[in-house]
Amino acid sequence: MPAALAESPRWELYRLLGEPRRLRLLGLTSEDELSIGELAELTREAQPNVSKHLKLLREAGLVAVRRQGTRAFARLSPDLNGDPLLADAIRSGRALCSEDGSLERVATVIKARDEEARAFFEQPADDTSPRSVSEWSAYLTAIRTLLPRRSLAVDLGTGDGALVELLAPLFDRVIAVDRSEKQLAAAQRRLSSHGYDHVELIQAEYDDPAVSDRVCELGGADAVFAVRLLHHAPKPQQVVSLLASLVRPGGQAVVIDYCSHDDELMRERQADLWLGFDRRELSGFAKSAGLIHPDVFEIPAARYGPGPDAHLKWQVLAARRGPK
At residue 23, the pLDDT reads 96
Tens of each residue's pLDDT in the chain, 324 residues:
565 555 667 778 889 999 999 999 999 999 999 999 999 999 999 999 999 999 999 999 999 999 999 999 999 998 887 788 899 999 999 999 999 999 999 999 999 998 888 888 888 766 555 444 567 788 888 999 899 999 999 999 999 999 999 999 999 999 999 999 999 999 999 898 888 999 999 999 999 999 999 999 999 999 999 999 999 999 999 999 999 999 999 999 999 999 999 999 999 999 999 999 999 999 999 999 999 999 999 999 999 888 899 999 999 999 999 987
Q: Which helix (H) or strand (E) holds 267?
A: helix 265-270
pTM: 0.82
The CA-CA-CA angle for residues 206, 250, 259, to 5°, reads 55
Q: Specify the 3-state DSSP secondary structure of 282.
A: helix
At residue 156, the pLDDT reads 97
At residue 161, the pLDDT reads 93
At residue 133, the pLDDT reads 52
Backbone angles phi, psi at 277, to 5 degrees: -145, 145
Rg (CA), the chain: 22
| Sign for the pseudo-dihedral over CA of 242, 264, 294, 137 | positive
CA atoms within 13 A on the CB side of 189: 13
Give all domains of the chain, ordered by start, each with its CATH number: 3-113 (1.10.10.10), 136-321 (3.40.50.150)
Backbone angles phi, psi at 200, to 5 degrees: -110, 120
How do strand 314-321 and strand 221-227 relate by DSSP bridges?
Answer: unpaired
> CA nearest 299: which of 255, 239, 269, 263?
255
**61 Rama sector, left if φ>0, alpha if ψ -120 to 50, beta otherwise:** left
Q: Is residue 240 exposed (0-12), middle (13-18) or buried (19+ Cβ within 10 Å)?
A: buried
| Sign for the pseudo-dihedral over CA of 197, 120, 264, 71 | negative
Spatial contact of 171 and 215, defined as CB atoms under 8 Å apart: no
DSSP sequence for 167-228 = HTTTSSEEEEEES-HHHHHHHHHHHHTTT-TTEEEEES-TT-HHHHHHHHHTT-EEEEEEES
At residue 132, the pLDDT reads 47
At residue 171, the pLDDT reads 97
Q: What is d(CA 250, CA 321) in angstroms, rounded to the nearest whole number?
A: 5
Q: What is d(CA 54, CA 40) in angstroms, rounded to the nearest whole number?
A: 11
Q: What is d(CA 100, CA 42) in angstroms, rounded to the nearest whole number?
A: 10
Tell me the sheet residues that pair with 253.
224, 319
Q: Which helix (H) or strand (E) holds 296?
A: strand 291-299
At residue 172, the pLDDT reads 97
Residue 45: what residue type? Answer: E
At residue 128, the pLDDT reads 53
> What are the helix (H) ranges across 35-179?
36-43, 47-59, 84-100, 102-121, 136-143, 162-167
